[in-house]
Amino acid sequence: MAWFFAPLLDSPRSGRDPAAVAPGSTQPGTSGSPWVITALIDDPWRSHSALMLWRQRPGAILVFQGNGEYQAITRRNLEDRGLWPEDTSRLLRLLPGCDTLGQITALARRLESWPRAGHLTIVTAETHMARTLAIARIVYAGTGWQVDGYVSDTDDLRPESPLRLWRDQVRSTLWRLTGWDGRLDGNDCR
């Protein structure tokens, strides 16, 4: 149960600054382990920030998470600005997940099949970071994945209610115990 309460003790950003890692490494302290950078792309600033961070991390995998409509908008937005990468072999577009918890668990399911755990950096707004990391630390507890956050520039500075944090900690715990995140509609929002 310590993994349930740990997010309350952590700061919104992890102690490790992703920018402090030497360029060319895939994961801090362990050569060959994957480094995954993911953005929940319902805010275009998140995808832009994730792309810029990814470019600083040769060898990292970039994951854009969002439904088909957000995927198309993100691609068009980045192409229009000349930022869409020419080589997309290390870019993964993941569709499932209706909300933050659904997106984090969809990525966790995808990463379960990888041969080894590594480092996961989640790019989101500062006001969304505490809840996002609380969810991720519960979902990834005991998997070997190191999770941290990277604050994106954004215009969305609406504060989140502590009730959402507590609700999603309960839902994350439920997912860890049963594989079900508490959603009743069965929609995976593709």
Distances (CA, A) of 168 to 10, 31, 61, 161: 16, 33, 26, 11
Decide if 8 is inside a domain: no
Does the pLDDT at position 93 exceed 50?
yes
Question: Which of 159, 177, 102, 110 has its CA nearest to residue 135?
Answer: 102
pLDDT at 139: 95
Share of residues in the chain with pLDDT > 70 (%): 78
Range of the domain at 160: 34-178
Confidence band of 26 (pLDDT split at 50, 70, 90)? very low
Decide if 10 is inside a domain: no
Decide if 97 is inside a domain: yes
- In whole angstroms, what separates CA 10 from the centre of its chain? 17
pLDDT at 2: 47
Tens digit of pLDDT for each residue in 142-174? 999 999 999 998 777 778 888 989 999 999 999
Provide the number of structural domains found in the chain. Answer: 1
Decide if 21 is inside a domain: no
Decide if 143 is inside a domain: yes
pLDDT at 76: 94
Q: Report the CATH number that the domain containing residue 50 is assigned in CATH.
A: 3.40.50.620
Gap between the Cα atoms of 150 and 59, Å rounded:
18
Residue 157 exposure: Cα atoms within 13 Å on the Cβ side:
3
